[in-house]
Structure 1
Amino acid sequence: MGLEVEIIDAIKTKLNPASFEVINESHLHAGHAGDDGSGESHWKIVLDAPDLADKTRIARHRAVHAALGPDIINRLHALAISFR
């Protein structure tokens, strides 16, 4: 299973989003620091999660990190998170 599928599954099952996008931005960082050559090092998540709406920005980011868990987080060089 690829990392994108793992991220999608974790977001769907743990955050109950109304909608979301998972975007692999690794190609934009090819050859830069943090590029491990896997093509799966830099990611962006755009999330509409009503359950997180009343939380602070930091709490929302922490919730996303917790949902992904250390196994996924430790394989990422960069993760951008934005909320709708």
Structure 2
Amino acid sequence: MPTKDELKQVFVTGAVPTQQNFHDLIDVAGVTGPKGDTGPAGLKGDAGPAGPKGDKGADGVSVVSAASDGTNLVLTLSDNNTISVPWPSQ
């Protein structure tokens, strides 16, 4: 049976490997062993206590309505401000 280095040369040199080359490669690699045992539990530290709840954030602003005046798209916001955007895009 060829050595691992001899098989490596077959695959690296660009030669077309034969079916026997693949079988030999598997034989050199050996068979897959059984699955190992699970490691001991507790290697990861325990979770710490929950922190205090944070303060409430500021209210957000949303779009309440959208309309067009023929030249602009006018967005009315929940804080009563408006945004005018040229429409159609210019």
Q: Which TM-score band applies after superposition, normalised by the shorter structure?
A: under 0.3
Computing the radius of gyration from Cα coordinates, the structure with the larger value is 2
TM-score under structure 1 length normalisation: 0.24
- The structure with more helix, counted as a fraction of residues: 1
Greater RCO, 1 or 2 (C-alpha within 8 Å, sep 6+): 1
TM-score under structure 2 length normalisation: 0.22
